[in-house]
């Protein structure tokens, strides 16, 4: 039964409290309690500001701070009692504080839960982006170690999952490295966008009280590189805006896509058909029926989790698309998807790092795959180009050479020179030298190419960058 509602902060204008079912339905404390450290930091800064402008006394501020510190310690120790009937993290903490510290009745002066939750989440996004950046950095370091351990290995690069051209394995691994590095940069961008203080926006229209928004911004670290405070510029936008949620979920989803594509390469490479790599036992599982099986489960789950990360982004886009300004309670549903994106991205980055760190390469299998001279057919066309043949004609001539080799069931480099010269007179006696793999790679000297000099440059670059 609904009863008089004195426990909640907004109870004054109500004669009856919410139904039990409504409490269950509307509570968010079960998931937003993880914001407690950020909520407490926000309240400390806010009360410091209130004292600074004379709205509370220094004594009241100190009592509030001591009370909040005690609550934080209890939260960390798992001793704080969270009450569902108090709805959310904000009211749970404020109520607990009010019971201990009379001055806490003044804490919510010139503040609304709307600018409060916006503040908590901006602080959380800054933390979350930094934490995920570190996790991804860990995966990148694992990747660099694998590249270093297999520095001289060559493999075919693929397009359309068909063998295309030879590359250093490291060049392929460094393609993944670039993807992961963009993920870190994207998260850093989200953190930079989060770096504006909402406090002072109130419910939607600020406050009549003489607050100091810059003071709070500084106290909470919402400052630019020069330490100047950054405060949001429109109170209505501030409490309605959920762009950060979308950006954060998008950054996680993009990482998920990257992890999934890397995982797919690993799954292929570990198959008997490729057998380029052995995945670590620690990240694989067996079959309950087939004793011989070793399944690449960590990779498959990375691929699967990426769907979940995309789903979270989609939830947020759909959640916000039709909302009138400003705050609507729908927005409480903004937190589960971003928390889930954080948790899943964090564990995915760790698992990716662990899987990469433990994999080993079958060098002979890689060498055999890359030995196919057909991988250098393009180099043969380039050879003709250097002898004055137009590329289209060169491409056509080499195509005819490939066909001839296929018809005669011989490798491309085993064709008699006279036969090749019948196809195009520009083929010289030295045409087979093109098929020297190391020589072919050494010719790829430009930035971003898989030649040994460039790969060495990339090793140096990543070693420096991932220090």
Which residues bind to ligand ARG, rule: CB under 6 A?
28, 32, 88, 113-114, 117, 327, 329, 331-332
Report, in angstroms and rounded to the nearest whole number, the Rg of the chain calculated over CA atoms. Answer: 31
In 3D space, the residue among 265, 20, 298, 232 whose CA is nearest the CA of residue 155 turns out to be 265
Shortest spacing between CB 332 and ligand ARG, in angstroms: 4
The smaller minimum CB distance to ligand ARG, of residues 310 and 320, is found at 320
The smaller minimum CB distance to ligand ARG, of residues 326 and 458, is found at 326
Shortest spacing between CB 88 and ligand ARG, in angstroms: 4
**Which residue is associated with the tokens 């297999």?**
150
The smaller minimum CB distance to ligand ARG, of residues 113 and 424, is found at 113
Q: Which residues contact 201 (CB under 8 A, 6 or more apart)?
A: 112, 114, 115, 118, 232, 235, 236, 238, 239
Handedness of CA 319, 322, 326, 329 (dihedral sign): negative
285 - beta bridge partners? 295
The smaller minimum CB distance to ligand ARG, of residues 135 and 242, is found at 242
Omega cis (within 30) before 122: no
Cα 70 to Cα 97: distance, rounded to the nearest angstrom? 9
The smaller minimum CB distance to ligand ARG, of residues 107 and 154, is found at 107
The smaller minimum CB distance to ligand ARG, of residues 87 and 379, is found at 87
Shortest spacing between CB 246 and ligand ARG, in angstroms: 16
Phi, psi of 162 (to 5 degrees): -110, 145
Euclidean distance between the first and the last CA atom of the chain, given in angstroms as a whole number: 61
Active-site residue set: 160, 287
In 3D space, the residue among 172, 163, 182 whose CA is nearest the CA of residue 465 turns out to be 182
Cα 263 to Cα 272: distance, rounded to the nearest angstrom? 16
In 3D space, the residue among 159, 312, 323, 302 whose CA is nearest the CA of residue 240 turns out to be 323
Q: Which residues contact 256 (CB under 8 A, 6 or more apart)?
A: 305, 306, 307, 308, 309, 310, 344, 345, 348
Shortest spacing between CB 109 and ligand ARG, in angstroms: 17
């Amino acid at each position: 039964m609904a009863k008089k509602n004195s426990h909640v902060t907004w109870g004054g204008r109500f004669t009856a409290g919410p139904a039990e079912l409504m409490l269950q339905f509307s509570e968010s404390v079960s998931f937003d309690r993880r914001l407690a450290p950020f909520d407490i930091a926000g309240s400390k800064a806010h009360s410091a500001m209130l004292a600074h402008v004379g709205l509370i006394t220094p004594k009241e501020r100190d009592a509030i701070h001591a009370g909040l510190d005690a609550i934080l310690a209890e939260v960390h120790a798992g001793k704080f009692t969270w009450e569902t009937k108090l709805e959310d993290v904000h009211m749970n903490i404020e109520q607990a504080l009010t019971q201990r510290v009379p001055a806490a009745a003044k804490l919510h002066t010139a503040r609304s839960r709307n600018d409060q939750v916006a503040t908590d989440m901006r602080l959380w996004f800054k933390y979350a982006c930094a934490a995920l950046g570190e996790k991804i950095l860990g995966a990148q370091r694992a990747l660099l170690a694998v590249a270093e351990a297999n520095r001289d290995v060559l493999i075919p690069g693929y397009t359309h999952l068909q063998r295309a051209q030879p590359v250093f394995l490291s060049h392929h691994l460094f393609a993944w490295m670039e993807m992961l590095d963009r993920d870190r940069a994207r998260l850093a961008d989200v953190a930079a966008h989060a770096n504006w203080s909402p406090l002072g926006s109130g419910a939607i229209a600020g406050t009549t009280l003489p607050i100091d928004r810059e003071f709070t911004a500084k106290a909470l670290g919402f400052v630019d590189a020069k330490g100047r405070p950054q405060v949001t510029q429109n109170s209505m936008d501030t409490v309605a805006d959920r762009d950060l949620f979308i950006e954060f979920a998008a950054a996680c989803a993009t990482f998920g896509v990257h992890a999934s594509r890397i995982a797919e390469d690993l799954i292929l490479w570990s198959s008997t058909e490729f057998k380029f790599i052995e995945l670590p036992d620690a990240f694989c599982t067996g079959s309950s029926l087939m004793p011989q099986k070793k399944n690449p489960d960590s990779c498959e789950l990375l691929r699967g989790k990426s769907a979940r990360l995309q789903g979270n982004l989609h939830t947020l886009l759909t959640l916000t698309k039709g909302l009138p300004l400003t705050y609507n309670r729908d927005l409480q549903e903004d937190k589960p998807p971003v928390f889930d994106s954080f948790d899943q991205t964090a564990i995915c980055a760790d698992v990716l790092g662990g899987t990469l760190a433990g994999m080993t390469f079958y060098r002979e299998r890689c060498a055999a795959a890359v030995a196919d001279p057909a991988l250098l057919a393009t180099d043969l066309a380039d050879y003709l180009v250097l002898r004055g043949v137009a590329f289209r004609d060169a491409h056509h001539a080499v195509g005819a050479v490939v066909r001839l080799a296929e018809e005669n069931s011989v490798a491309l480099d085993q064709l008699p020179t006279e036969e090749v010269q019948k196809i195009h007179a520009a083929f010289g006696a030295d045409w087979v030298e093109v098929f020297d793999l190391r020589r072919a790679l050494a010719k790829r000297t430009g930035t971003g190419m898989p030649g040994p000099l460039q790969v060495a440059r990339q090793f140096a670059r990543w070693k420096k960058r991932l220090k």
